[in-house]
Structures are given as structure tokens and as C-alpha cells.
Amino acid sequence: MTTPLLSLQGLTKAYPGVVANDQVSFDIGEGEVHALLGENGAGKSTLVKMIYGLVKPDSGTMLLRGQRFAPPEPRAARADGIAMVFQHFSLFDALNVAENIALGMENPPAMGDLAARIREVSETYGLPLDPYRTVGDLSAGERQRVEIIRCLLQDPKLLIMDEPTSVLTPQEVDILFETLNKLRSEGTSILYISHKLEEIRTLCDHATILRLGKNVGECAPAETSARDMAEMMVGSTLQTPERSGREFGEVALDVSGLSVPSPSEFGTALKNVHMTVRKGEVLGIGGVAGNGQDELLGVLSGEITTAPDAIKFNGQPIGKLGPTARRKLGVLTAPEERLGHAAAPDMSLTENALLTGSVREGLENNGFLKWAETKSFAEKIISAFDVRTPGPENAARSLSGGNLQKFVIGREVLQNPDILVVNQPTWGVDAAAAASIRQAILDLAAKGTAVICISQDLDELMEISDSFAALNEGRLSAPRTTTGLTVDEIGLMMGGAHGMEVAHV
Amino acid sequence: MIVLEKRPQPSKAWSYATPLVAVLATMVFGGILFAILGKNPIQAIGTIFWEPLFGEFAFYYRPQLLVKGAPLVLIAIGLSLGFRAGIWNIGAEGQYIMGAIFGAAAGLAFYPLDAFYVFPIMVIAGAFGGWLWAAIPAFLKVRFGTNEILVSLMLVYVAEQMLASVSLGLLKNPEGFGFPGSRNLQSYESAHNAELIVGSGMHWGVVSALIAVIFAYVLLNRHMLGFHIRLTGEAPRAAKFAGVNPARLILFCLGMSGALAGLAGMFEVSGPSGQVSIDFNVGYGFTAIIVAFLGRLHPVGILLAGGLMALTYIGGEIAQSQLGLPAAAIQVFQGMLLFFLLAFDLLTNYRIRAARKEVA
């Protein structure tokens, strides 16, 4: 039997109060695409950080081609041929592609030579990229290419990719997979982290599944059903949200000819957005991150005001109204960023319940706060949405991401909105919590609320939405009925492959 | 190796304990400093903290504590509202001066009329003067996005020039033999901010400071506006999402701190100081910034911090005259207090843990 490229043996890493990895062992063969599967918090990130030299294991060994391997820092790992593409890009918006790549190198060559190298690598692997473009102007998919090319310039033996497809359209995913297949055929091994099962089934040779820090199983993805893998991941049978057949009412929200510039420099302006949502309807809005999702939420929440007629609620113009006035009418929103936007990190859950609940729940009296009522509102959210916390006096930042998300969604749902707008409602939330959040959204729609769900998770949108539209560079495609939409059609609505049409591997 | 580990949520116990620990640490290290200077450290510390309160001449010093502490507390309460929201009024000294000028001018305009309404009008004029001076940076920030730190600070120097100008011109005492400075308000009954109980040091400024403490406490803990102030400071984006109007908040916080600083100036000029003069201001507006932070921007904390600050001032003066400690040593001592407070503050949000070496 041949020696594997990288062999992990009994890796353990504990943080105060939590064992992130517990005796994890597996091998990655040469030229193998190995999937690392697991829910959020299963210990995937800690594991790859140990391989990349960012974190040192408490115990256990790693062998690289049979040699003991214990990188003290990422530089040493890179010197041994290990490269990593992170989920969150570390790029400077104001610099161009070549400058960004040079910043990450030990001894960057002259800019002209580097640009030529970037062109060469990008053409070889079918990742077209102009070295002189400013990163701030690139789409998320293009930014990812910058990170991949940065890695490929090191000629890696093992390429680690952390959730690479979360920012890509389906067409872009296909192109990425071609690149990865080409790398595999050249003998590069890839450690591919994801929780998207279909992707893993098409791409990966082998999969290791982590749950609560332990290796709970291995499988050959092509021969295992997605459902079986999912159940290994969560350790229990999955419940899919049900939706009951329902009739839609009159138009509740009518957005027409909405154009606004973005408040931030590298944001995306909304361009001539049209949409209508009827009572009881769930409109899913897909699209790659950074195509105007935050701006759309801001416009609907009232944080960004527009011409009065651009947004109508039950026929009444509300474009000029601020967040408080809209809440009074029944237009509620839940932003994507939980800490710092939807909730104040250092404030208690009670205070965070007050943050959006004051108007509709009657938590103030001529400006004076009713703390007792506010506390019981917070307790109601905690019990109705199964938020795991010792009590409402705890700070928002002490909650895990999933629990805080349940709190944030629950806070809006319990206020019986007429319109609910949510952005990435299940981002970073474990499968069970995600299912309960989706169920809550569907239940609300069944009671006649018009729901807009902005998400990058297409599976989620297919599951809960009645109609589907996509944001692409600030433009919203015409909404279509979800039933019967194919992945290809959705991909085209999302803008196809951004600037990738020329790529032929 | 020692590492700092962020607590999942701020420690309640430490947030109350840090001021006490800081005072103790200051006593220890201040004592070492005094010992190096060749003074008996225990005697020196005792003089600073004991003498003003319980010493032989405490009957004289105790009222002084109120007189020194009141303006500090009054100004610091106003500043803390803005600081909580991330609005930095550094120019309270200027607002204090303008409050004194407006207040004194209003009183002197009625001179020598004897009427009950003269003093209340002076109070309103003083608050208005301070408000006006703070409204300049507030308006410029809201309208043009200027930096309120710079504008409010620069206006301190403008106010000082105004003070010199009116002392030499507009408000100069016509019967003052040409000396700079206004009429003495202490000798104008209707305008005099006299002691409410003779020999207690308790004047209207002290009463206002106490009212301000209660007002700020209720505002921050029981009112929507106070909630919005705290929310803006902790998470500006969440505040916007909650529907806070940042412009209105800036106008309120700067205006309120200006008005309170103006009141402090007015009570000082009509009471302990008595007249508008070139060297009227002694830095209360700047020291109040320290008091605000020493009191953790909490109304009750500020009340205690103002008292402590007044204590070190008066105790320091006693130590200077009785033990011959240099004034610089007293200033270092006061600096230590702030330093230790900020240093120990870390323990509220972090815990110290011994850890094995780890590559991070």
C-alpha cells in the first residue's frame, strides 16, 4: 500500500469548556479529493487550522509523506506544500489583484513578472483574472479566484478549501469543479470542507464526517445517498419543514422602480428593482453575496429611505418612513449580521428584545420603559424558539450563533408582522435549528404574512419559497414561481458565471 | 505564559470591584513614590485621604469638598451621556466659561434691582450659554460631518479669549478702579448663589449636581432616549436598525452636556468665585472628563468619583503645605488613579489565565 500524502493520527484539541477535536484520525491520499463534512461547530475549522499551522494540537501526530509534520506557523505549512483558501477572503478592496497577491508572498517578484505569472496560472486552470483590476470591483466569485491563484502560485501538494461554493452561482461552481478536477489529475490533493452534500457527491473521492469533534464515519460519497450522509452529520433523522397548501391574498408589498446608491463605498447600488409580494406568499431572493442583499434589506427596514412611492405597503407609500414608523405599520425585518446589527453584543437579551419590540409590544409608556413587560417578552421568545441560554439577563454575545439567530428571528415572528423580511435566516445555524426557523417562517406565511427571504442557500429557498427572484449586481430578476424551476434557470437568473464565459479548460 | 481570555459576558463583580482595587493600588504605589521622595508614605496617604474628612480642620475642608466636587459631577454627568453614545465633547471647559459669562451678564444686567426672579433668570441664561457653545460643534457635525472633538476643543480657547475680553470690557466693574473683572456677585444679594446652610458648602450647584445624577440615572435606565444613547454607543448599526436618529441624538447629547457645564460655570461665578475674571476657569471642564471615566460613565459612579477627585485635590493641597510634597507628585498620584482604573478595567471583560505556550 502506498504512503498517504497526509496522515492524521489521534488529533485532539480542547478549548476552555469545549473539545473541538477528539482523537480525529484519517488519511488523505495523493491526488485525492477528500471531503470533510460536518455541521457548524463540528470541529472542521479547528482541524484544518491544525494542518495549516494556525493552531497546535494538544495531542496526536500528523505525518506528511511518512515524515512527522508539526508546522509551528502557516509559513512552515506553506513551505511544506500546504495551501489554504479561506471561507472569508483576506483581500484589500482598494488594491489590485497583483498587489494583493504580492502582499501574501515572502519574496514577491517584480510586479510585471508577477502579473505575467498570474495570467499564466489563471489561463492554465481556467480562472480568468486581470491582475490589474481593483479587488473592490470584483464579484465574490472573482475574489475567490484571487485566493485560489494565490495558492496555486505556491505549487501546493495539498490544497485546503473551506466552504468554497457558498459564494458562487451554480455555473461558477461547475467551473470551479473543473479546475479542481484538473488539479487532481495533476496529482494535487484537495481537502474540501463543506456541508453541501450534492457537491461532495459529485466531486469527492472520499469523505470523513465529523460530529461534535469526533470522527463519526467515513464513506465514498458517490456510493452514499445525501440523506445518509446528512443523518451521519447530525446524528439523528432530519425533519423537513412542511408547508400546507394555501391561497395568497392581496398584494401586501409593492416595490416599483426602486433605485438607491449604496451607503458604503464598495457596496452595490440597487437598480430599478420591481417586486410584489402577496399576503401569505414567501418570496425567495437568491444571489451571490455582495450583489445588493444588504442594501435591499436596508431599504425595506427603513434604514435607507427612498422616494415615498417606491415602496408601498397595502397601497400606502412608505419609502420615506424610518424603521420605527414601519414597525408600527407591521413591516419587520431581520438583518443578516446578528452581532452589531440585529442585536447589540454587550446588551442583555431583555434589552435586545426592546431593540425592535418596543413599538408593537407596547414596551414603553411616553418614552418610559416597561422593563417587566420587556423581560417577559424576551422570555417568551426564549421559550417559543428554544433559545439555549440561562436567562434573558445574559448578554447577546454569550449566545452561540445559532441560538442568537433563533432569538433574532423569534423576536420578529412573535410580533405578528404583516410583512417579514429576513436576510440569511439560517446562516451558520445547525440543521435542527435551521429547520425550526424555516418552519416558523412557513407558519407565519400560513397565517397570512407576506415574507421575503433573502438567502444564498438555494436549497433553503427551494424548500420554503413560493416564488423566486435573484439579485445580480443590484438588479432583481422578475420573480417566477418556484415549482418547476431548474438549477440551470436559477443559475442564469443569478447572472450565470460572472465573466467566466471565456473559460475553457 | 499569561494569556488574556475574553469573558463570555462582562463580569458584574469586577465592574464594581475595579474602582476599589484601583484606589488601593494607587495608595500602594503612591506610597512607594512618596517614600522614594523621602516622606513617610503612611502619613502622606493619611494626609491626603483622612485629613480633609476627619482631621483637625475638617470643618473647613468638608465644605470645600462639596464646592470642588459639585462642578465636577455636574459637568461629568453631562459628558457621560455623550460618551455613552460615542459623542465626544472635549470642550466642557469652554461651555463652563460661556455659562459663567452668560449667567453673570444676566445678573449684572439687573443690577442693582432686588427681585426674586433675578437668580432663576441667571440659571437659565447660564444653561443657555453652555448649550449655545456646545450647539456649535453639534450643528457642524450634523450638517457638515465635522469632528466634534476638534471643534469643541478649539472653542475652549475661543471661550477663554471671550472671558478675557468681557473681563476687560463689557462686564468690567465700573467701580473697580480699572482692575479687570466684573462686580462681585457675592455682594449683590439677588444674584448671589449663597450657601443654603451656612458653613456647609451646600449651594445651588451642589443641589443641581445631585438632581443631575438622579435625572441621568432615570434617563439611562428607565427611558427610551437613554436606551438609544447606550445602544448607539455599543452598536451604532444596531441603533440605526432600531430607528435611532443619529442627528437628533448628537444634538441632544452635546446640548445637554453643554447646558450642564454652563450651569456649573454659572453656579461657580455667582457663588464660590463671585466674579467674572480673566483667570476664572481652573480646568474643571477637563478634569470632569477624568471624573466621568473614573465613574465608569455611570451616574452614581460619577458622584463617587467626583467626591474622590475633590478629596485628592484638597488632600493633595494639605499634603503640599504640611509635608512639603511637590505639586508634581500629587499630579502623578492623581494620574496613577486613572491609570490603575483603566488597567484593572480589563478584568471586567477579560480573565487572566496561565497557559502553556501555544502557537496562535
Largest CA-CA distance found in chain A, in angstroms, rounded? 78
CB contact under 8 A, A53 and B10: no
* pLDDT for the residue numbered A342: 94
Cell of B24: 488601593
Which neighbouring-strand residues pair with A6?
A: A28, A64
With 90 as the cut, is the pLDDT of residue B78 above it? Answer: yes
Is residue B167, in this structure, part of any structural domain at all? yes
Asked if residue B197 has pLDDT above 90, the reply is no
Which is higher by pLDDT, B221 or A490?
B221
A-chain residues within 8 Å CB-CB of B241? 301, 303, 323, 333, 335, 341-342, 355-356
Q: Which residues in B lie closer than 8 A to residue A302 (C-beta atoms)? A: 243
Q: What pLDDT, on a 0 to 100 scale, did the predictor assign at position A55?
A: 87
Closest C-alpha to B267, from B2, B74, B49: B74
> Is A351 an interface residue toward B (CB < 8 Å)?
yes
Question: Of the ranges A12-21, A238-247, A287-296, B67-76, which one carries the lowest mean pLDDT score?
Answer: A238-247
- Among A301, A325, A346, beta carbon nearest to B234: A346
Contact: B240, A303; criterion CB under 8 Å:
yes
pLDDT, average across residues A60-85: 89
- For residue B238, the model assigns a pLDDT of 95
Closest CA to B77 of B238, B304, B266: B304
Contact A255, A275 (CB under 8 A): yes
Q: Are residues B96 and B27 in the same domain?
A: no
CB nearest to A344's CB, from B9, B225, B231: B231
CA angle B75, B81, B86 (to 5 degrees): 120
Determine the Cα angle at A42 with ends A48 and B358, to 5°: 45
Q: Is the CB of residue B131 less than 8 Å from the CB of residue B99?
A: no
Q: How far is A346 from chain B (nearest CA, A)?
A: 7
Domain membership flag for residue B227: yes
Q: What is the C-alpha separation between B127 and B261, in angstroms, rounded?
A: 8
Contacts with B9 from chain A: Cβ below 8 Å = 346, 394-395, 397-398
Range of A36-45, A257-266, A312-321, B319-328 with top mean pLDDT:
A312-321
Least confidently predicted of A95-109, B142-156, B250-264: A95-109
Segment A287-308 mean pLDDT: 90
Determine, yes or no, domain membership for B172.
yes
Point out the residue among B222, B234, B359 whose CB comes nearest to the CB of A56: B359
The residue to which cell 484519517 is assigned: A26
Q: Is the pLDDT of residue B357 over 90?
A: no
DSSP string, A295-332: HHHHHHHTSS---GGGEEETTEE-TT--HHHHHHHTEE
Residue B337 to residues A192, B44, B92, B114, B345, Cα–Cα distance (Å): 54, 16, 22, 46, 12
Task: Extract the C-alpha cell encoding B59.
Answer: 470643618
Statement to judge: residues B312 and B348 lie in one domain: no
Domain that residue B15 falls in: 1-39+325-360
CB of A350 within 8 Å of a chain B CB? The answer is no
- Mean pLDDT (chain A) is 87
CA nearest to B220, candidates B106, B331, B83, B95: B83
Backbone angles phi, psi at B21, to 5 degrees: -60, -40
Residues of B in contact with A331 (CB under 8 A): none
H/E element, A218: strand A214-219
Query: For residue B8, what is the nearest residue in chain A, using CA coordinates?
Result: A398
- Identify whether B44 is part of a domain: no
Assign residue B199 a region (left: φ > 0; alpha: ψ between -120 and 50; beta: otherwise): left
The grid coordinates of residue A445 equal 406565511
How far does B127 lie from chain A, in Å, by closest CA? 24
Which chain A residues are closer than 8 Å to B5 by Cβ? 16
Give the C-alpha separation, A461 to B8, whole Å.
34
Q: How far is A73 from chain B (nearest CA, A)?
A: 7
| DSSP β-ladder status, A331-334 and A364-365 | unpaired
B309 and B219 both lie in a single domain: yes
The C-alpha cell that represents A97 in the structure block: 489583484
Residue B78, domain member (yes or no): yes
The minimum CA-CA distance between A76 and chain B, rounded to whole Å, is: 12
Whether residue B132 is contained in a domain is answered as: yes
Q: What's the rounded Cα separation, in Å, for the pair B255 and B138?
A: 8
- What average pLDDT does the segment A54-62 reach? 89
Instruction: Please check whether residues B315 and B330 belong to one and the same domain.
Output: no
Q: Which of residues 194-223 of B touch A (CB under 8 A)?
A: 222-223
Contact A162, A94 (CB under 8 A): no
In this prediction, residue A332 has a pLDDT band, given cuts at 50, 70 and 90, of very high
Task: Determine, yes or no, domain membership for B46.
Answer: no
A230 close contact with B: CB closer than 8 A: no
Residues B199 and B102 in one domain: yes
Q: Is residue B360 domain-shared with residue B252, that is, in the same domain? A: no
Q: What average pLDDT does range A175-201 have in this prediction?
A: 88
Do both B330 and B233 map to the same domain? no
3-class SS string, A403-421: HHHHHHHHHHHCCCCCEEE
**Buried-exposed string B246-278: b where 16+ CB fall within 10 A, e elsewhere:** beebbbbbbbbbbbbbbbbbbbbbbbbbbbbbe
- Residues of chain A with C-beta less than 8 angstroms from the C-beta of B224: 358, 364, 367-369
Judging contacts by C-beta atoms under 8 Å, the chain A residues touching residue B227 are 351, 354, 369
Measure B10 CA to nearest chain A CA, in Å. 8
A397 touches chain B (CB under 8 A): yes
Give the pLDDT confidence of A133-143 residue by residue, as tens digits.
888 888 777 88
Lowest mean pLDDT among A198-207, A300-309, A369-378: A198-207
A333: three-class secondary structure by DSSP:
strand
The set of residues, in sequence order, having a beta carbon less than 8 Å from that of A198 and lying 6+ positions away, is A226
- pLDDT beyond 60 at A1: no
Q: pLDDT confidence of A238, banded at 50, 70, 90?
A: low
pLDDT (0 to 100) of residue A17: 65
Residue B286 sits at the chain A interface (C-beta within 8 Å): no
Residue B360 has pLDDT above 70, yes or no: no
Q: Which of residues 298-327 of A touch B (CB under 8 A)?
A: 301-303, 322-325, 327
Task: Mark whether B310 and B339 lie in a shared domain.
Answer: no
Tell me: pLDDT of B359 over 50: no
Instruction: Tell whether A58 is within 8 A of chain B (Cβ).
Output: no
Q: Is the model more confident about A41 or about B230?
A: B230
DSSP state of A134: B
- Domains annotated on chain A, with CATH: 6-234 (3.40.50.300), 251-493 (3.40.50.300)
C-alpha cell, A156 = 501546493
Least confident of A229-243, A270-284, A334-348, B68-82: A229-243
CB A472 within 8 A of CB A494: yes
Q: Domain for residue B49, yes or no? A: no
pLDDT band at A242 (very low <50, low <70, confident <90, very high): low
Q: What's this model's pTM, rounded to 2 decimal places?
A: 0.80
| For range A309-314, the mean pLDDT | 94
Backbone angles phi, psi at B44, to 5 degrees: -65, -50
User: Who has greater pLDDT, B245 or A197?
Assistant: B245
Q: Could you say which of B9, B359, B360 has the minimum Cβ distance to residue A397? A: B9
Check A303 against B241: CB less than 8 A apart.
Answer: yes
B78 and B28, same structural domain? no
**What is the count of structural domains for chain B?**
2
For B15-62, what is each residue's pLDDT tens digit?
788 888 888 999 999 999 999 999 899 999 988 988 898 888 888 899
Please give the single-letter amino acid code of residue A408: V
For A387-411, how does the pLDDT look when each residue is reduced to its tens digit (9 = 90+)?
888 889 999 988 877 889 999 999 9
CB contact under 8 A, A324 and B359: no
Residue B151 belongs to a domain with what CATH number? Answer: 1.10.3470.10
- Based on the fold, state whether residues B179 and B264 are members of the same structural domain: yes
Instruction: Check residue A419 and give its pLDDT.
Output: 96
**Do B7 and B139 belong to one domain?**
no
In terms of domains, do B274 and B298 share one? yes
Spatial distance between the Cα atoms of B158 and A103, rounded to a whole number of angstroms = 48
Residue predicted with more confidence, A334 or A432: A334
Q: How far is B83 from chain A (nearest CA, A)?
A: 16
Facing residue for A354 by CB, picked from B8, B227, B245: B227
On the question of pLDDT at A4 being above 80, the answer is yes
If one compares A238 and B231, the residue with the highest pLDDT of the two is B231
CA A39/CA A41 separation, integer angstroms = 6
Dist CA B122 CA B104 (whole Å) = 7
pLDDT at residue B356, as a whole number: 55
Are A405 and A411 spatial neighbours (Cβ–Cβ below 8 Å)? no
- Mean pLDDT calculated for residue range B211-233: 96
Rounded to whole angstroms, how far apart are CA atoms A442 and A240? Answer: 12
pLDDT band for A504, please (50, 70, 90 cuts): very low
C-beta atoms of A395 and B9 within 8 A: yes
Instruction: Evaluate whether A249 touches A55 at the Cβ level (below 8 Å).
Output: no
